[in-house]
Structure 1
């Protein structure tokens, strides 16, 4: 009987001891923290995906030739108001991200007040009109930009920069301009195909065009090419079409043309709009209906592609002001 009591007591003590050790082991396990290296390894194997920022819509407007010398300058001096040429149309450029223009006349010192001649000189104060219009980018790759020699090109570029307007088409550096618009990078190329060919600007060749397009497509989300090309007072040429399509084939998203002083055809090639010539915008060529007509282009980009585009006809009135109508 004593023996059985002994074994019962021993069994009870054993249960208590085992229970205590089980309790201690569980408590230790509960108090242990995860090993940091395991968490880090898990995160590296299963990275948390980052949400891609969706590009905001970009609205771009473009106009044709702006010449602020000769008879236009005479008018500005008489008016004593350098915003005068743009006062009947600037309201159409509100809420626009980019305004691109071809500046056909360089700024100069002591510009002569004259209504004749083919050497253009614009008063430095006439940049006020470009600002009123909201110009953000001015193409300088054209056949009149050296009318005031190298100093005139430098002066023009400096005045534009002081007024937060980017010069497009100068041959310095890579020859292209990349601007951050909202959360989108836009490359602007300006190329001249009309003599004389001043070395300070990009003069058009297929080799240069392809080189700049290669750089632009690597550097930007949208590529805009501004061509100064074609034949005056005519519709588009075969060369214009070949160059435009070459540009699109190599990454251009929008083609803007000028120089003929006529509004030329609009073409869509591989979903890219090609505006062969926007005609005149501010000019003193009053002798024909065609030279007084032009186009204002509006292009909207969504997700880095053209979503909509339109062309608004304008007519230059007797005071050299573009208006949104097709007859004087």
Structure 2
């Protein structure tokens, strides 16, 4: 088990949203039941009192029907090369494909329908991942059965899921994490991936961008006690730089009050920009991903990044970026840390102010101000 996981005792619970103004939310957004909140809390006595970090990993899928891994050690080996880089107090990854016992696609006509072996859940948990986002275009690839398997397998492996559910109320549940330095809420949002994957009052799926869902996600996180609210979004085109539509929705999220926007989806690392003082990480790229990839065909580097927000009491927040080699033609499906020359090549393209210090690059951030 990863040292960070050994040292943590995670309590995974479902908490009802309790706050003044819940009635107003219900009035504004319909009569449906107020969503509950998926919550991860550090056990008393193990909290970092002076320093905490929240780490976001990109598109993650340990094996699928094309590149199955033969046995449990194979799953562990797939993440072994980057274990030293997984060091957040809270670590979140985008599960780009269900972990499930079924291999029956919901839509047989879809070009890419993914599924990972159930053993992948334990491998991710042992690597130190605490929560997995499901708000993407592959969560429903194996239908409701695949979604339910993913949620159950993750829960059994001591990971929390958020971003998809049996209906919109479930899919909208923000992830809430409490620490002595403050409470973080993470809201999963994404593009409209089609009617079959779009949650509504009675249909399972994910949460689609709209002015209403963007604002509601923020309000629900704040209602649950979040001091800072992060949008963990799935958007953009494969192997493509930032689109104007992404910048539009980033502005909508900043206007709604979000403190950080972290994007997944294009499979390549993209730039960090700031809207006002809000960091917008347009794409983390891949983390560990079980398909060959098409980087060369698009003229792109097979590079991903892991992003951390590091908070130290009495000091400005820091954004920390770690660089990953994710082109499986180069790595043989074993993601590796970037070499120093690769860091020097890739990191300035993410943001020129990032200062490389060994295997991490940092820059200060006027974000995540201490709660009053």
Which residue of 95, 110, 130 corresponds with 1:103? 95
Contact preservation (8 Å) 2:65, 2:114:
no
Check 1:182–1:123 CA distance in 2 against 1; reply closer, same or farther (3 A cut): farther
The residue number in structure 1 matching 2:295 is 288
Residues 161-182 of structure 1: per-residue CA shift (max 9 Å, x gap): 2222111212444522222234
The residue number in structure 1 matching 2:139 is 145
Which residue of 213, 219, 234 corresponds with 2:218? 213
Normalized per residue, the structure richer in helix is 1
Which residue of 282, 292, 308 corresponds with 1:298? 308
Which residue of 288, 303, 319 corresponds with 1:309? 319
Q: Partners in 2 of 1:223 and 1:108 — Cα distance?
A: 30
Q: Partners in 2 of 1:224 and 1:72 — Cα distance?
A: 33
Check 1:90–1:319 CA distance in 2 against 1; reply closer, same or farther (3 A cut): same
Q: Partners in 2 of 1:111 and 1:162 — Cα distance?
A: 21
Q: Partners in 1 of 2:227 and 2:315 — Cα distance?
A: 9
Residues 5-24 of structure 1: per-residue CA shift (max 9 Å, x gap): xxxxxxxxxxxxxxxxxxxx
Correspondence 1:77 to 2:70: yes
Larger radius of gyration: 1
- Deviating above 4 A after TM superposition, structure 1's stretches of 4 or more consecutive aligned residues are 302-306
Correspondence 1:60 to 2:54: yes
Contact preservation (8 Å) 2:64, 2:117:
no
Q: Partners in 2 of 1:99 and 1:72 — Cα distance?
A: 27
Q: CA deviation at 1:198?
A: 3.3
Q: CA deviation at 1:319?
A: 2.1
The residue number in structure 1 matching 2:185 is 187
The residue number in structure 1 matching 2:198 is 198
Q: CA deviation at 1:222?
A: 1.6
Gaps of 5+ in 1: 1-53
Task: Count matched residues.
Answer: 269
Contact preservation (8 Å) 1:73, 1:123:
no
Q: Partners in 2 of 1:91 and 1:321 — Cα distance?
A: 14
SS state of the match for residue 108, structure 1? coil
Check 1:56–1:253 CA distance in 2 against 1; reply closer, same or farther (3 A cut): farther
Q: Partners in 2 of 1:233 and 1:304 — Cα distance?
A: 39
Q: Partners in 1 of 2:52 and 2:180 — Cα distance?
A: 8
Of the structure 1 ranges 264-273 and 76-85, higher mean CA displacement relative to structure 2 is found in 76-85
SS state of the match for residue 338, structure 2? coil
Q: CA deviation at 1:144?
A: 0.5
Which residue of 280, 290, 295 corresponds with 1:274? 280
Check 1:85–1:72 CA distance in 2 against 1; reply closer, same or farther (3 A cut): farther
Gaps of 5+ in 2: 1-47, 105-110, 200-204, 343-372
Check 1:121–1:97 CA distance in 2 against 1; reply closer, same or farther (3 A cut): same
The residue number in structure 2 matching 1:13 is none
Correspondence 1:245 to 2:242: no
The residue number in structure 2 matching 1:92 is 85
Aligned 1:221-236 pairs, distance under 5 A:
221-236=227-242
Check 1:306–1:118 CA distance in 2 against 1; reply closer, same or farther (3 A cut): farther
Check 1:307–1:72 CA distance in 2 against 1; reply closer, same or farther (3 A cut): farther
The residue number in structure 1 matching 2:149 is 155
Contact preservation (8 Å) 1:217, 1:251:
no
Q: Partners in 1 of 2:207 and 2:247 — Cα distance?
A: 19
Contact preservation (8 Å) 1:295, 1:314:
yes
Q: Partners in 2 of 1:180 and 1:208 — Cα distance?
A: 23
